[in-house]
Amino acid sequence: MRTACLVLLIGVLAWAAQAQADQDALTQEQINKLLQHGPWPLRVEADPSNRVSGNPGAIELGRTLFFDPKLSGSGNMACSTCHHPGRGWTDKLPRAFGIKRLDRNTQSLFNVRFNRWFGWDGQNDNLWAQSIRPIINPDEMHATPKHVVQVLGKDQNISGQYQDVFGAAPGEGTPEQTLANVGKALAAFQETIVTARTPFDAFRDGLANNDRKAIAAYPASARRGAALFFGRGNCTFCHTGPLFTNGEFQDAGVPYFIEPGRVDKGRFAGIAKLKSSAFTLAGKHTDDPAKTGAWKVRGVKPLHRNFGEFRVPSLRNLTKTAPYMHDGSLATLEDVVRHYSQIDVERLHADGTRILAPLHLNKNETQDLVNFLESLSTE
Ligand code: HEC
Ligand code: HEC
């Protein structure tokens, strides 16, 4: 009799454990979507538009320039002033501060080499052009191509490094050519900023290889968060692939008023800037004779729907890059999840309303989704 009771008790306990596991489990459809978010790290290739991409001398020169305030007009602002390596390659401010407060949040440089467009509004189609932008922007480093030629020429160390990498002294050719080269060395350095594997990657590979130990090591709460991300939340619609972004532009319901009466037009204005830039993949400064990728800038046209759209951010290493959104208006991941939970569909484009709807998550579900998002970061 006693043995029968014991067997029954063990049976009930096993059933309860199984029921809990089932609740934490993902459906096959969710698993199929999840598997597409890896493997990580991605394979890297040299950038054909940048002849010094991957060149060790250029990486070193780029590193020197990145941390050196000399490039700026005032002589006291470097790339690292806003993109600080100890602060997730950003500045922890809601909106960047240059010569005055800027309109947008400083983007992190994690995995920047994998972008298809650059900036919140995609105003550039390559990394070296995006690296030139702050140097000549009057509200940021406020320099001119001529100033850059002068300061490089005066510093023996830098001009020696530059000569080794580009086979010419700074200032040979036009000042714009020197500026483009500076952008290319800065790009070579930034290409090295690639994030390591995360708890999510171990879970994902565990599912791919049916490795029970790896699957079991992933916390139950993060797994329930994954079920929301890949299921009911439909987050994966935009935050897709190994980088957790489709690389394109969407309206996620973040207000685009910078202050009363002044709006950030987002992608709409970004396309206009892209079209007028001398530093695109279709322009004369690319090193790729085949002009690979130039179809993107040639083909893109501003549409009404682009108004107030911003680039879908990657979600890797999020825990290191708060605050969030193009205007830095959300301080924590809880705030972001609450934003999606209560999203105001009235604010969205017709496209957005089809995809996003308020999720009305309860407290536990909110925590689960936050835990999932945290598992996309390195420890
Ligand atoms: C005053 C602060 C500030 C300085 C200085 C600064 N940046 Fe930025 N950076 C930003 C902001 C703000 C953005 C977002 C730009 C936008 O979309 O409007 C950004 C975006 C970027 C991006 C795009 C990232 C992406 O994912 O698309 C790159 C690359 C970048 N900066 C590189 C640099 C380099 C290289 C330097 C130095 C030459 C530099 N930045 C100097 C504030 C700064
Ligand atoms: C319709 C496309 C779309 C969907 C669906 C979507 N997002 Fe986003 N997400 C975006 C865009 C666009 C931004 C940037 C918005 C801005 O700054 O104006 C963003 C920003 C974010 C950020 C901030 C990242 C940063 O670095 O600032 C997080 C976190 C995030 N989304 C998580 C989620 C989660 C969780 C879900 C599901 C509940 C989700 N997203 C669904 C498009 C989407």
Element (H, E) at 216: helix 212-216
Return the sign of the alpha-carbon dihedral for residues 268, 270, 271, 276: positive
CA of 106 to the centre of ligand 1 (A): 6
Which of 34, 83, 93, 238 gets mutated to test ligand 2 (max ligand atoms within 8 A of its CB)? 238
With b meaning 16 or more CB within 10 Å and e meaning fewer, what string describes 40-69?
beeeeeebbbbbbbebeebbbbbbbbbebe
Q: Are 228 and 361 a contacting pair, CB within 8 Å?
A: yes
Which of 95, 234, 249, 312 gets mutated to test ligand 2 (max ligand atoms within 8 A of its CB)? 312
Pocket lined around ligand 1, Cβ cut-off 6 Å? 77, 79, 81-83, 96, 98, 102, 104, 106-107, 109, 112, 115, 118-121, 127, 130-131, 134-135, 140-141, 186, 190
Which of 133, 258, 265 gets mutated to test ligand 1 (max ligand atoms within 8 A of its CB)? 133
204 lines ligand 2 (CB under 6 A): no
- Residue 106 is given by DSSP the state P
- HSE value, Cβ hemisphere, 13 Å, CA-based, for 348: 18
Q: Which domains are seen in the chain, by residue range?
A: 25-41+197-266+308-379 (1.10.760.10), 56-190 (1.10.760.10)
348 lines ligand 2 (CB under 6 A): no
- Residue 222 is given by DSSP the state H
Decide: residue 252, CB within 10 A, 0-12 exposed, 13-18 middle, 19+ buried: buried
Dist. CA 379–CA 369, nearest whole Å: 18
352 lines ligand 2 (CB under 6 A): yes
In sequence order, which residues have a C-beta less than 8 Å from that of residue 6 and are 6 or more positions away? none
Residue 348: per-residue pLDDT: 80
Residue 354: per-residue pLDDT: 73
Decide: residue 289, CB within 10 A, 0-12 exposed, 13-18 middle, 19+ buried: exposed
Residue 25: per-residue pLDDT: 81
Amino acid identity, residue 291? Answer: K
Residue ID of nearest Cα to ligand 1 atom 32: 131
Dist. CA 129–CA 190, nearest whole Å: 13
DSSP-derived pairing of the beta strands 262-263 and 257-259: antiparallel
Q: Consecutive 10-residue runs of the chain (379 residues): their mean pLDDT? A: 57 48 76 98 97 98 98 96 98 96 97 98 98 96 96 96 97 96 98 98 97 96 97 96 97 90 95 96 96 93 93 98 98 98 81 78 98 96
Dist. CA 105–CA 136, nearest whole Å: 19
Residue 345: per-residue pLDDT: 82
355 lines ligand 2 (CB under 6 A): yes
Residue 10: per-residue pLDDT: 57
CA of 82 to the centre of ligand 1 (A): 7
Q: Are 187 and 339 a contacting pair, CB within 8 Å?
A: no
- What's the gap between Cα 291 and its chain centre? 25
Ligand closest to the CA atom of residue 77:
1
Ligand closest to the CA atom of residue 84:
1
Residue ID of nearest Cα to ligand 1 atom 42: 106
CA distance readout (Å), 243 to 39, 236, 315, 338 = 10, 11, 7, 23
Selection from 253, 231, 239, 250 nearest residue 376 by Cα: 239
- Token pair belonging to 81: 């002033």
CA distance readout (Å), 283 to 185, 190, 335 = 18, 22, 41
DSSP string of 256-321? Answer: -EEETTEE--BHHHHHHHHHT-SSSTTSTT---TT-TTHHHHHH----GGGTTBEEPPP-TTGGGS
Long-range contacts of 66-72 (CB under 8 A, 24+ apart): 66/186, 66/189, 66/190, 68/158, 70/151, 70/155, 70/158, 71/135, 71/141, 71/143, 71/148, 71/151, 71/182, 72/135, 72/141, 72/142, 72/143
Residue 19: per-residue pLDDT: 42
Query: How many other β-carbons are positioned within 10 Å of the β-carbon of residue 23?
Result: 11
CA of 107 to the centre of ligand 1 (A): 6
Residue 379: per-residue pLDDT: 82
pTM of this structure: 0.94
